[in-house]
Every structure is written in structure tokens, then in C-alpha cells.
Amino acid sequence: MSTSHKKGNPFKFELKQVVISLGLGLSLLSASGAAIAQDIKIALIAGKTGALEPYAKETETGFMMGLEYLTAGKMEVNGKKIKVIIKDDQSKPDMGRALLAEAYGDDKVDIAVGTTSSGSALAMLPVAEEYKKILIVEPAVADAITGDKWNRYIFRTSRNSMQDALAAASTIKAGGSIAFLSQDNAFGRDAIKAAKEALTMAGSKAKVVHEEFSAQNTTDFTAPAQRIFDALKNKPEPRILQIVWAGPSPMNKLADLKPERFGINLAPGGNILPVMKLWKSYAGTQGTIYYYYDFPKNKMNDWLVAEHTKRFKAPPDFFTAGGFAAASAVYTALNKAKSTNTEKLITAMEGMEFDTPKGKMNFRKEDHQALQTMYHFKIKKDQKNEWDILELVREIPVSDIPVPVKNKR
């Protein structure tokens, strides 16, 4: 007893330990609670300044509407709020690269999405690898993005040049002669290279007789058109001038030069609604497109068309659907991975299927390219309103678009 008394209360140290342990436990719980409450940060980078501004704005609208739809307006996933940080790279590669580094480094975003220009997107790819963070490419299309410039942090929801080309080639399997007109930039040259390869893959008997590349800001197409007409006019029919152009389309200016004098038919690629509504006088002209609001029949697209029309007095467009698809990829990946950890996200996203306004897409494991349907259209003769432009000829399934894997993984 006396010994115990001299040593004092034997429980004092133990009690102190309990208090310290409880304090530590509360601190850990507090830290854990803070982590749980932490926002999920997503950077959306787009070329909102310059020639591709309309595309960028549509992408942003579609992305935000996609998150709204998928989260039932709560803007959260796995109990965490979603915060979107929007940046304008002005379609400049150096700016795109710098803004992505800023997003990963300073803003501490978990995932990035972008961008509009293929040149800027290509400049961003090494940044994703450097920071070991996911970059979902939307809407840039250059094949090199999921080809020889690809790395394992890159996923793409937008179609690539080869998907565009294979869809178009599937409609031109007979003989005849083809000339191409595109932009003298990464997008244009990539697109024409893919188009020629796609014709061979599709078993088309048509022969490519001319390739014409013009600056994106060209306003007078008289000289380029004359070179194209001279190359095509004495070649076997059908004679097709395929136009692959991002931004304001030169189709009307080419049509004004009367290519029909030489038996030449114009074959435009799909474009945004404000551009296509100027094509009303070309009823019967056919082409292929990534998305047109009236073609897909599914619940997600029904909501997008109804809600977009209600809010903006016009149906959703080409790039609106693309932005929505990117949002769906982000949401589905976060839900599946239950984490923002990059490695867990990559595991979840490889081979991942997700819903979009176009229907289901899936990220091919080999190169992370989203496989998706495309559409063969004809310009309507009888149009009910300014947006009633295209008639569906055929939905082109993934099986008809055998995109080769070119990333040498």
C-alpha cells in the first residue's frame, strides 16, 4: 500500500494515454471527414477564342448538361461535389500545354478534359504523362492522339479522323474519282491521310485523283476549286469532291463555282447546325456525320434534345453531344473506380462502356479510343424548319468502322 502511495495514482498515466488516444482519434476522424468532403476537380480546356469558338462553347454546354443529367442536378458523385474549372487555350498549342500543367499542378484537378484543336491536344499529351493524370480528349480528332503520340493516361470520347474516314468510305464503295479539299493544318492533313487509307480498307474501287489543302482563313476558293475541277473533270464518274473542314464550311462557295458543269458532286462532312442550315438548296447531297440531334433514339438523347431546345431555342449540336459524352465518361469512371486515384481510374476505364446521347460507347483497351456509331445522311428536300436539315440514310455500326490500332503499345 505504502509503495503504491509513494508512486501516486497508477491510473494517471493510463488516463492520460486514453485522452491522447481519443484526441488523436478525433483528429484522424476530422482529417478523414475533410477528405470525404473534398471536391472532385475537373478541368475543361477548350478553344473558346478564335475560329473554333462555336465548337468550344458547344462542348462546354454539353459537358455541363451531361453532368447535370447524370447527377440528377446534384453535381456530385460518390458523396463528393464536382467542381469544373474552365480554361480557354485559344486553340494555341503552347497555351494548351501551359493550361493543362496549371490545372494538374496549381489547381490540383483529378481529371482533365479537352481540347478543341488537334494541334493543342497533341501538345497536351506529354503533360498528362508527366503529371500521371487522366486526360480525356474531346473533341480533337487527329489520329496521332490515340496513335503514335498516345500515352496510357490518354482516353478519347470524340471520334478520330479514321472513324470519320471509314464512315465516309462505307458510302463510296463503287468506282469513280475522288478529290479532297481540307485545311492545311494537323487536322486537315491527318483527315485526308486517314480518308485515303479508309478507302483501301473499305475495298472501294474509287481512285483519289487530287488533294487540295487551303489555309483555314481562306475566303476565296476560286484557285483551289479550279485545280480540283481540272483534276476531276475528265476522270471516270462518279466524280466526287469530298470536303473535310473544321469551322465555317466552304461548301457554299464551292457550289457557287458550279462544279456540276463538270459532273462533280459535293460530299460534305457533317458540321454544326448553323453551317448546315445554309445547305438547304443542296437537297439530296449525301455525307456522313458524328451526330445529328434527330438520329439517335434513346432516353439520354431525348432529354438532351428537349432540355437544350427549351433553354436555347435550338436543338443540341454536333459538339454538344460530344461534351455530354465526355461528361458521361468522367461520371461513369468515377462511379466505377470509387476513387480519383489515377491507376484505379485507368483500370476502370479500359474497356469501359458508357451511355451517351449517341448510344453506348466503350474505350478500347489497346488505345483508349471510344468506339462508336456514325451516321450516313442525305440533305432533306422538304424541310419543316431551319433545323430540319438531314434525313438518316443509315446508322453506321461499330462493326463497319474497323479503326486500326496504331499506338504501338
- The pLDDT, as a whole number, for residue 33 is 41
pLDDT, tens digit, 9 for 90 and up, residues 288-304: 999 999 999 999 999 99
- The pLDDT, as a whole number, for residue 308 is 98
Q: Which helix (H) or strand (E) holds 311?
A: helix 299-312
Q: How far apart are the first and last CA of the chain?
A: 77
The model's pTM: 0.85
Cβ atoms within 10 Å, residue 350: 15
Mean pLDDT of the chain: 89
- The pLDDT, as a whole number, for residue 190 is 87
Q: Parallel, antiparallel, or unpaired: how do β-strands 374-379 and 390-396 relate?
A: antiparallel
pLDDT, tens digit, 9 for 90 and up, residues 46-62: 999 998 999 999 999 99
pLDDT, tens digit, 9 for 90 and up, residues 379-391: 999 999 999 999 9
Q: Which domains does the chain have, with CATH numbers?
A: 40-159+296-372 (3.40.50.2300), 163-289+378-383+390-400 (3.40.50.2300)
Cα-based distances in Å from 354 to 301, 350, 359, 372? 14, 11, 8, 11
pLDDT, tens digit, 9 for 90 and up, residues 20-41: 333 444 444 444 444 445 899 9
79 pLDDT above the threshold of 50:
yes
Q: Taking a C-beta distance cutoff of 8 angstroms, is the pair 56, 100 a contact?
A: no
Burial 40-53 (b: 16+ CB within 10 A, else e): bbbbbbbbbebbbb
Cα-based distances in Å from 45 to 63, 102, 140? 11, 11, 11
pLDDT, tens digit, 9 for 90 and up, residues 261-278: 999 988 888 889 998 988
- The pLDDT, as a whole number, for residue 16 is 38
Burial 66-76 (b: 16+ CB within 10 A, else e): bbbbbeeeebe
Max CA pair span of the chain:
120
pLDDT, tens digit, 9 for 90 and up, residues 178-205: 999 999 988 889 889 989 999 998 888 8
pLDDT, tens digit, 9 for 90 and up, residues 152-180: 999 999 999 999 999 988 887 677 999 99
- The pLDDT, as a whole number, for residue 239 is 93
- The pLDDT, as a whole number, for residue 22 is 37
pLDDT, tens digit, 9 for 90 and up, residues 214-261: 998 899 999 999 999 999 999 999 999 989 888 777 888 998 999 999
